[in-house]
């Protein structure tokens, strides 16, 4: 079977005492890779970096920065994804790109973390400690779980054991480099640690240092939190001096959270691996850094839960209307969550009724209608009432809003040329005057003023009354449209209507502030009358950038 290389570059800081062993392992792996027809691995090692040990005056630890380029082979048509270690408690998943594959295919999470040790190649049931997951190179939705004894038959390669050896050993090297605490070849008396003790040490370090320091953030003057934890565990006196009863309570809470039968791992391999450690209760040294990070994971969970609780308490536990009743509400759209369904993308709108503080929801499977954070007058029919997290919520269907109707219509008119009837203009003016939330945006990010100034710029004088209406009506012409990186006033300036520009500036002088030389060049504005007008309201007195721009024009 034909092979190709799947290489990446990795950078780590490694204790100098481990450099010789690392060099030997990479050289051996590189020779195996070359036997498979793959390029050799490369390992670049820096000069010694001296790191001061803050707990021992005058003592330094020596490290080296290493850059490793290497990886695993790709079988013809298949890419190695993950090694699954099975036991009676819970799977642990280790692999290259496994999380990104799960992010694309959430259902794969269940397979990886709970699957029995079966082989989908031979379909023979037997006890296995390890299986391997491969994904189709062209269609990542196709995977196959292969037992270690079936890799030879599955691969069709003359030396499948070598293939698997390179993949497994390279993975082992990366895991060691990710946790500098791991000492390879520890013998029969390799230490294990009570997870709660590890987390208590981490809680004490974070409390005293003020934050968690990851390995990526560390430098010669900052020791990673995991290294500090390792030190405390090796020095009982230092541990007892630093770790308090409060740290122990925090550690117990974190381990209980991970061990709970209802623990939500959110489809993240990081959390499911922490969950597996918690259920095993004891961890070896190679997992010390991962175990220590449980404190931060729990801390973030508490902060997120507290924020959610505060948000829940801000809602009134109120039902709005009866099922089937048509309601008119003034709401703020707090969040829009896209949900992938078998019928396409559906958007869950989480809204707050501003009159009652009740929670309102709406699922929309069509084009995006609203903009997150904006306020709208809406009409909708009550579909049902449900309770979520102890708060009653009213789910609506068939939601419409007069506040966005005008933007959508003007977007259509901006695509056509030709005369617009007086009746049409009157109808559009009526819609503008009836809008209750003047500055809300439609799904494309257009406010009423943005849509009006845009169609005026593109289609001409027949739409002038609409621009006059938004200026006189107090609409905010400075709200940007993310889709176009412009606002209503930008379109008004490019239209060249000096009288309307001046009316807008009289209503809001700050509109001129963004119009410096760069902005003028971006929009190609060269009219001396407009330049002078903008300069006047900016307070430039034609003595700075605007004077230079006028001369250039």
pLDDT exceeds cutoff 90 at 38: no
Identify the pLDDT of residue 333. 94
Identify the architecture of domain 326-400 in CATH: Beta Barrel (2.40)
- 168 vs 187, higher pLDDT: 168
For 258, which DSSP code?
A: H
> In this prediction, what percent of the chain has a pLDDT beyond 90?
33
Least confident of 25-29, 171-175, 189-193, 510-514: 189-193
pLDDT, position 543: 44
| Residue 15 predicted with pLDDT over 90 | no
The pLDDT score that the predictor gives to residue 503 is: 93
pLDDT score of 57: 37
Q: How confident is the model at residue 187 (pLDDT cuts 50, 70, 90)?
A: very low
Residue 30 or 77, more confident: 30
pLDDT band at 96 (very low <50, low <70, confident <90, very high): low
Separation in Å, CA 269 to CA 7, 280, 533: 22, 16, 59
Q: What does the pLDDT read at residue 189?
A: 35
**pTM: predicted TM-score of the whole model, two decimal places:** 0.47
From CA 352, how far away is CA 373, in angstroms rounded?
Answer: 10
> What are the structure tokens assigned to 531, written together?
């330049």
Which region among 52-61, 102-111, 231-240, 278-287 has the lowest average model confidence (pLDDT)?
52-61
* Domain coordinates in residue numbering, the chain: 3-178, 192-309, 326-400, 403-514
Averaged pLDDT, 32-54: 81
Neighbours of 514 (CB within 10 A): 15
pLDDT at 544 over 90: no
pLDDT for 159 equals 66
Q: What's the token pair of residue 173?
A: 């090297």
**What is the C-alpha separation between 194 and 428, in angstroms, rounded?**
71
| Higher-confidence position of 445 and 35 | 445
| Coil, helix or strand at residue 134 | strand
Name the more confident of 429 and 54.
Answer: 429
pLDDT at 435 over 90: no
pLDDT at 287 over 70: yes
CATH of domain 403-514: 1.25.40.20
Beta pairing, strands 359-364 & 391-400: parallel
């Amino acid at each position: 079977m034909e092979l190709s290389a799947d290489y990446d570059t990795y950078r780590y800081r490694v204790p100098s005492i481990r450099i010789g062993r690392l060099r030997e392992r990479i050289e051996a792996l590189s020779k195996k890779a070359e036997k498979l027809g793959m390029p050799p691995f490369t390992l670049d090692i820096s000069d010694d970096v001296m790191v001061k040990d803050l707990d021992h005056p005058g003592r330094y630890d020596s490290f080296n920065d290493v850059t490793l380029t290497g990886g695993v082979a790709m079988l013809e048509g298949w890419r190695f994804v993950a090694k699954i270690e099975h036991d009676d408690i819970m799977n642990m998943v280790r692999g290259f790109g496994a999380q990104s594959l799960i992010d694309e295919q959430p259902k794969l999470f269940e397979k990886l973390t709970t699957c029995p040790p079966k082989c989908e190649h031979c379909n023979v049931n037997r006890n296995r400690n390890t299986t391997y997951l491969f994904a189709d190179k062209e269609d990542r939705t196709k995977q196959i779980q292969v037992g270690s004894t079936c890799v030879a038959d599955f691969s069709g390669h003359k030396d499948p054991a070598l293939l698997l050896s390179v993949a497994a050993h390279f993975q082992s090297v990366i895991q060691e480099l990710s946790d500098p605490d791991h000492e390879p070849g520890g013998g029969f008396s390799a230490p294990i640690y009570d997870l709660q003790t590890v987390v208590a040490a981490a809680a004490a370090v974070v409390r005293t240092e003020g934050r968690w320091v990851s390995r990526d953030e560390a430098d010669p003057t900052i020791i990673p939190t995991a290294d500090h934890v390792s030190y405390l565990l090796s020095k009982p006196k230092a541990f007892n001096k630093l770790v308090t009863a409060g740290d122990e309570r925090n550690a117990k809470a974190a381990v209980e959270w991970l061990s709970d039968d209802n623990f939500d791992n959110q489809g993240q391999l990081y959390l499911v691996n922490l969950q597996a450690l918690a259920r095993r209760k004891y961890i070896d040294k190679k997992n010390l850094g991962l175990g220590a990070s449980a404190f931060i994971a729990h801390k973030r969970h508490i902060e997120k839960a507290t924020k959610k609780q505060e948000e829940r308490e801000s809602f009134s536990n109120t039902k709005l209307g009866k099922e089937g009743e048509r309601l008119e509400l003034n709401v703020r759209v707090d969040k829009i969550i896209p949900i992938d369904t078998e019928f396409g993308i559906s958007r869950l709108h989480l809204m707050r009724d501003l009159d009652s503080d009740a929670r309102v929801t709406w699922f929309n499977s069509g084009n995006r209608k609203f903009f997150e954070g904006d306020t709208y007058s809406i009409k909708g029919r009550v579909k049902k009432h449900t309770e979520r997290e102890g708060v009653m919520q009213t789910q609506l269907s068939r939601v419409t809003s007069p506040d966005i109707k005008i933007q959508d219509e003007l977007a259509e008119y901006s695509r056509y040329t030709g005369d617009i009837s007086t009746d049409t203009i009157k109808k559009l003016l009526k819609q503008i005057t009836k809008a209750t939330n003047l500055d809300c945006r439609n799904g494309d990010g257009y406010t009423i003023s943005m849509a009006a100034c845009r169609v005026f710029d593109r289609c001409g004088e027949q739409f002038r009354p609409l621009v006059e209406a938004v200026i006189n009506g107090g609409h905010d012409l400075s709200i940007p449209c993310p889709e176009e990186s412009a606002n209503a006033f930008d379109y008004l300036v490019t239209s060249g209507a000096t009288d309307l520009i001046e009316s807008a500036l009289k209503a809001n002088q700050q509109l001129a502030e963004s119009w410096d030389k760069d902005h003028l060049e971006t929009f190609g504005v060269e009219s001396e009358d407009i330049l002078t007008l903008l300069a006047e309201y900016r307070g430039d007195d034609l003595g700075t950038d605007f004077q230079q721009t006028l001369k250039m024009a």
